[in-house]
Amino acid sequence: MSKWVTAYAPASIGNLGVGFDMLGLALQGAGDRVSARRVDSTGISVAEVRGPDGKPHPALSTNPLENTASIAAQALWDAQSEPGGAELRVFKGVPLQSGMGSSASSAVAGVVAVNALLAKPLPIAELLTYALAGEKYASGGLHADNVAPSLLGGLVLCPPALLPATISLPVPTGVSAVLLHPELQVSTAAARSKLATRYSIDQWLEQQGYLAGFIAACAANDINLIRDTLKDVVIEPQRSAAVSCFVEVKSAALQAGALGCSLSGSGPSIFALAEHHHARNIASAMEQACSMTGIECQSWVSPMTAPGAYVETEE
Amino acid sequence: MSKWVTAYAPASIGNLGVGFDMLGLALQGAGDRVSARRVDSTGISVAEVRGPDGKPHPALSTNPLENTASIAAQALWDAQSEPGGAELRVFKGVPLQSGMGSSASSAVAGVVAVNALLAKPLPIAELLTYALAGEKYASGGLHADNVAPSLLGGLVLCPPALLPATISLPVPTGVSAVLLHPELQVSTAAARSKLATRYSIDQWLEQQGYLAGFIAACAANDINLIRDTLKDVVIEPQRSAAVSCFVEVKSAALQAGALGCSLSGSGPSIFALAEHHHARNIASAMEQACSMTGIECQSWVSPMTAPGAYVETEE
């Protein structure tokens, strides 16, 4: 029998509030696994998709044309003109439509696993293009703010105009990410289609100024400047109403000392950045505020240096 | 007689192409001087404004309400509730309406000179607010991309939403600025009034991505990334037609190896960033291209670490 290769790819915080479509952060503690092995049939197939409970996933298909893991893996397979095929088993750890980059995690784990089956595996950074092919299926756009941090780890700047190049940013020391996932679902593609398509020069410049300042703040390790710039004045106001607990959770995070708080991706997940010693308290405050609105939730605290995808086992 | 204090403030490259209204670079080799002394009459007056030839400036007024040096100095004087007044002599070294931050240089030199007359002079960085008062008179907007580098030196990020705070950025080693001033005049206020007021989300994100990448590139000292991101796809296309030599000069700069080339402020001046060892050649190529279009010109080569304003003499 051919060997099974299992790859892990973390969840991620898309946009990171301040950098719509171009900034993302890897999250430690939640991720997807994809196992892959060579088979004689041609192309990539999906043997099974299982949920966190170990049972067949109720929502995800094993049709290889409808799963981001197989779509991404197939793109890599085709580009390498690899003969034969591979079979995938997908283990979803990231909740769907959560704003935690679920489709990106599967796409990244899929390409990283299948890459290890190749005669000549590619360097990890070169897999971005193929992972993006999977992500594009799920979200409808070519943006890498989940795929890039899931693949590469840490904080990644990925302006669409520079793809497939991405920029791994220095992260401030002593700062953690907090992520709260309320038990709600938001469709990324639907959320995107509702955004205004034109903006005033003042809106554009205000948001651009925050992003520029945030990147400078990360490079200079300037905590106060992170607090002054971690803002989304353009996208968040258009999306937050779809997340019924948002106002309460954000308010609780800021009151507990968060440096900033916004939607993770298109939501419903909500993230905050915080100094290490406040992070656990802030997570508790966000959970409590969410529960008070009657919505179940779960939270994670993660360093800003969370590792990206890797091959976990080959056996 | 009370002493004369003379302050120097450099010219500057507003926008630096990639950061409309929020990024600026000090320029070495061109600047304004303002001399100030205490007088018994109340408030700030202007005794004379002289041009580079030492003669009374043909275009600038000695009406203190119409000169950025005196307007800025008066704002500082008022804020400090200083009794009496001061008299200024303004020596213009920066050509008017050149895109070299002429009005900002005078405003900065004015406040720095008058500050030295105060019983308790303020730290230089605290003078920004007052220099901005002068700049606002000239350009009609509250943006600091000329005033901040002229005051503080080097490369400064100054998003309007964060003012009066500004962010001095690290600069890449081995990179120089080249500035070409064609003998044309463009009114900043008029250029501004012609800009489109609304932009598509794609335009906004493309330009924001370049700025974010450029700042990351400066912090990481990544010359190739500077080349990939030093672009203005939004403002330059709207303004460059007003500068008849622009296409030729930009093309010459890029052919000679510039990392990027765009308008300085609202033009007509044109700047390039370049690796040190190419900078002189690039300046020559830009001059030659400009001359070929029949327009007289002058150029400067400056380090990206040019100093900001300072008190030159007190006597």
For residues A1 and B233, the model is more confident at B233
- Does residue A219 belong to the interface with chain B, where contact is any CB pair within 8 Å? yes
What is the DSSP track for B191-240? HHHTS-SEEEHHHHHHHHHHHHHHHHHHHHT-HHHHHHH---SSSHHHHG
Q: Do A195 and B205 touch (CB under 8 A)?
A: no
Q: Do A228 and B165 touch (CB under 8 A)?
A: yes
Percent of chain A with pLDDT over 70: 98
What is the DSSP track for B117-136? TSSSPPPGGGGHHHHHHHHH
- Range from A103-112, B77-86, B195-204 that averages highest in pLDDT: A103-112
Q: What's the mean pLDDT when you consider all of chain B?
A: 94
Helix A102-115, helix A68-79: angle, nearest 10: 40
Q: Do B157 and A198 touch (CB under 8 A)?
A: no
Preceding amide of A149 cis, omega within 30: no
Query: Looking at CA atoms only, how far is residue A114 from chain B in angstroms?
Result: 31
Q: What is the pLDDT of residues A141-168, one digit of tens each?
A: 779 999 999 999 999 999 999 999 999 9
The pLDDT of residue B183 is above 70: yes
- Does residue B168 belong to the interface with chain A, where contact is any CB pair within 8 Å? no
- Does residue A193 belong to the interface with chain B, where contact is any CB pair within 8 Å? no
Closest residue, chain B, to A159 (C-alpha): B209
- Does residue A228 belong to the interface with chain B, where contact is any CB pair within 8 Å? yes
A167 vs B contacts (CB less than 8 Å): 213, 216-217, 220, 225
Choose among A135, A124, A41, A118: nearest CA to A87: A41
| 3-class DSSP string for A192-254 | HHCCCCEEEHHHHHHHHHHHHHHHHHHHHCCHHHHHHHCCCCCCHHHHHHHCCCHHHHHHHHH
B16 vs A contacts (CB less than 8 Å): none
Write down the pLDDT at residue A111. Answer: 98
- Does residue B195 belong to the interface with chain A, where contact is any CB pair within 8 Å? yes
Query: Looking at CA atoms only, how far is residue B273 from chain A in angstroms?
Result: 19
Q: ipTM of this complex > 0.85?
A: yes
Show the tokens assigned to A249: 């959770």
Write down the pLDDT at residue A314. Answer: 85
Overall pTM > 0.80 = yes
Interface test with B, best of A167, A192, A226 (most B CBs within 10 A): A167
Q: Do A211 and B213 touch (CB under 8 A)?
A: no
Closest residue, chain B, to A211 (C-alpha): B212
Write down the pLDDT at residue A104. Answer: 96
For A205, the closest of B160, B209, B228 (CB atoms) is: B160
Cα A206 to chain centroid, rounded: 25
Please state the rounded mean pLDDT for residues A99-123. Answer: 96
Domains of chain B from N-terminus onward: 5-169+306-314 (3.30.230.10), 175-303 (3.30.70.890)
Q: Do B212 and A215 touch (CB under 8 A)?
A: yes
Q: Do A157 and B208 touch (CB under 8 A)?
A: no
For B213, the closest of A20, A159, A213 (CB atoms) is: A159
Write down the pLDDT at residue B1. Answer: 62
Percent of chain B with pLDDT over 90: 85
Range from A41-55, A204-218, A257-271 carrying the lowest mean pLDDT? A41-55
B206 vs A contacts (CB less than 8 Å): 159-161
Residue identified by tokens 């049972």 is: A55
Cα separations in angstroms, A233 against A204, A252, B213: 9, 19, 21
For B169, the closest of A209, A216, A228 (CB atoms) is: A216
Other C-beta atoms within 10 Å of A282: how many?
A: 27
Q: Do A212 and B23 touch (CB under 8 A)?
A: yes
Q: What is the pLDDT of residues A166-223, one digit of tens each?
A: 999 999 999 999 999 999 877 766 777 789 999 999 999 999 999 999 999 999 999 9
Q: Do A204 and B209 touch (CB under 8 A)?
A: no
pLDDT band at A139; cut points 50, 70, 90: confident
Write down the pLDDT at residue B188. Answer: 66
Closest residue, chain A, to B198 (C-alpha): A200
Write down the pLDDT at residue B186. Answer: 72
Q: What is the pLDDT of residues B296-309, one digit of tens each?
A: 999 999 999 999 99
- Does residue B159 belong to the interface with chain A, where contact is any CB pair within 8 Å? yes
Q: Do B206 and A161 touch (CB under 8 A)?
A: yes
Please state the rounded mean pLDDT for residues A254-279. Answer: 97
